Amino acid sequence: KDLPPVALEGFKAVPGKGVLAELSVAGSPTFTARMGSLAFVKIGMTDEEAARLDAIDLRDEESGCGVMAALVMDHEVAIFRFKDALRSGAADALQTLRQLEPEGFEMLMLTGDRLTSAQQVAAQLDLPPERVYAGMAPEEKLAKVRELSTKHGEEAGVLMVGEGVNDAPALAAARVGAVVAERSSAISEAVADVILLQGGVESLPFLYAKARQTVRVVKQGIVLAMLTLLGSAIPAGLGIIPLWFTVLLHEGQSRAATDQANTDNFNDSARQHEEKATDLYPGEQRCRPSHPTHVDDMAQLLEATAKETADMAALDATAEYYATIYEEERRLLYQRGFPLETPYGSVGSEGKVN
């Protein structure tokens, strides 16, 4: 109440560090306000002021709290303390995925949080300390994803799950990038392959199982199509059955395999909606349709769209991220052999203009 008017004369976001703004309060001379990590806020401070912040940082590090500071007028500093809490169901979902480790599945944690905070979360997930990478800047996450991709090869691939602007380069570099819509930024949604509208990592076991089922159904369809083709081609070549019947048999089998795959996907999707409708209306799942879940999906989609619109105002301040992601996408396109159209011609897989 009765706060003086504040004039904003400049704004800049520094990815992975914080934001700064040029402000003027009630006509006073312009000053720079910062908000972000303690190291970012300490820029320009005296040694005595920086030492006081270091003492606060050390105390909070021992408690496992995340710290963010805001530097305002006359070098006054406000300290914000945060502590991570696991989402409901996240631990069970990750434990389910860890059961796949004998098949080559490996789970890592990449976070910009301090090590003590990351280790506390990892302990709740029963994740070994050697799989926790804390205090990572956006470019370090990107480098780690590239390292994992090289280590395991293109056939295995890397799944990266993130949400914020700092995760965007790593999401673009991963074989599959999945973003959590509830807390995502516009740029991370733009580069992601999958947007998780319902929940976050809780959806990963279902998505992984669905991907394996899809591959299995596709392989079954190909095998059946080849067997049908071979089984009908030989009698047709001997004149036992007419050619038109062979073609009809092959096309019918291909259509049946496609319908089977679509039916499996529809049944699994309906089962998921029914389970969520059961959570919304306990004891009434037989008379409640799955429409409430669709309404929730639409509401979250609208929220994500509104969030994207709001984030557009800050995109100019993160232009360097666009450059990183653009170069990463170009590299991936070249590797996969896709041509890239430019005003000067078509760029092939070798990066040369044709």
Q: Which helix (H) or strand (E) holds 235?
A: helix 204-237
Contact 127, 109 (CB under 8 A): yes
On the CB side of 328, how many CA atoms lie within 13 Å of its CA? 21
Q: Is this model's pTM higher than 0.75 or not? A: no
Angstrom distance (rounded) from CA 157 to CA 256: 31
Tokens matching residue 180 = 């959590």
Retrieve residue 82's tokens: 């945060």
What pLDDT is recorded for position 141? 92
Q: Residue 198 corresponds to which amino acid?
A: Q
DSSP reduced 3-state for 285: coil
Q: Strand order of the sheet with strand 159-162?
A: 159-162, 176-180, 194-196
Identify the pLDDT of residue 270.
Answer: 41
Question: How much is the pLDDT for 339?
Answer: 53
Q: Angle CA(308)–CA(178)–CA(273) in degrees, nearest 5? A: 90
Residue with tokens 């999707």: 269
Would you state the pLDDT for residue 197? 80
Contact 147, 110 (CB under 8 A): no
Taking the CB of residue 1, how many other CB atoms lie within 10 A of it? 2
Whether residue 107 contacts residue 127, with contact meaning beta carbons closer than 8 Å, is answered with: yes
Q: Which residues contact 110 (CB under 8 A, 6 or more apart)?
A: 133, 136, 141, 144, 145, 170
Contacts of 228 (CB under 8 A, 6+ apart): 249, 250, 253
Name the CATH code of domain 90-204 (choices 3.40.190.10, 3.30.420.240, 3.40.718.10, 3.40.50.1000): 3.40.50.1000
CA–CA separation, 115 and 135 (whole Å): 7
Neighbours of 320 (CB within 10 A): 11
Q: At what angle do helices 204-237 and 90-98 cross, to 10 degrees?
A: 40
Supply the pLDDT for residue 337.
59
The number of helix segments (H) and strand segments (E) in the chain equals 11, 12
List, in order, residues 6 or more apart from 116 with CB less than 8 Å away: 61, 62, 63, 64
Regions of the chain where pLDDT drops below 50 = 266, 269-296, 298, 301-302, 305, 309-310, 312-319, 342-354
pLDDT for residue 61:
65
Looking at the DSSP bridge assignments, the partners of residue 8 are 23
pLDDT value of position 336:
60
